[in-house]
Copies of this chain bind each other. A is one copy, B any other.
C-alpha cells in the first residue's frame, strides 16, 4: 500500500488517506485481515504529520473499514456495515444524482456518462458481493 498525498488538493490530507485505503479495499488490493503500514511509517513516507495519519486511521476504524489494535497495528476489517440499508441507499443515490448533475454541466453526453460508469465499474466487479 503506497499513499499519494497531494497538499494542493481541495480534499483534506486525512480524507485523501481514508479514500485511498477504502479504494484499495474495494478493489481487492487490500484484503480483510491484511495489515496496514504503521502510522509512523506512513507519516515518514508521505512527510505528513503522525497525527494526521492517525486521524485518518481513526476515521477508517469508525467506518468499520479497518481495526486498530494498540501494540499490534491496524488491519483491514472483514466488512461489516454499521449504517442501515435505507440510509446507505440514500447516500448512494445522492452521489449518483450529483454525478448526473455534474455530467450535465460538463456537457458530457448520457452515452459518455454511461460509458464511464461501465468502464470504472469493471475494476470493482471481480470483487462482487451479495
Contacts and interface: CB of A to CB of B under 8 A. Distances in A.
Interface residues of A, number: 60
Residue from the set A10, A88, A114 with the largest chain B CB neighbour count within 10 Å: A88
A22 B124 contact: no
Contact of A25 (B69, B79, B104): B104
Interface in A102-130: 102-110, 113-114, 116-117, 120-121, 123-125, 127-130
A104 B26 contact: yes
Given A8-B67, A99-B99, A104 B127 contact: yes
Nearest to A26: B104
Q: Which 5 pairs between the two chains have the least Cβ-Cβ distance?
A: A26-B104, A88-B106, A96-B120, A26-B101, A100-B124
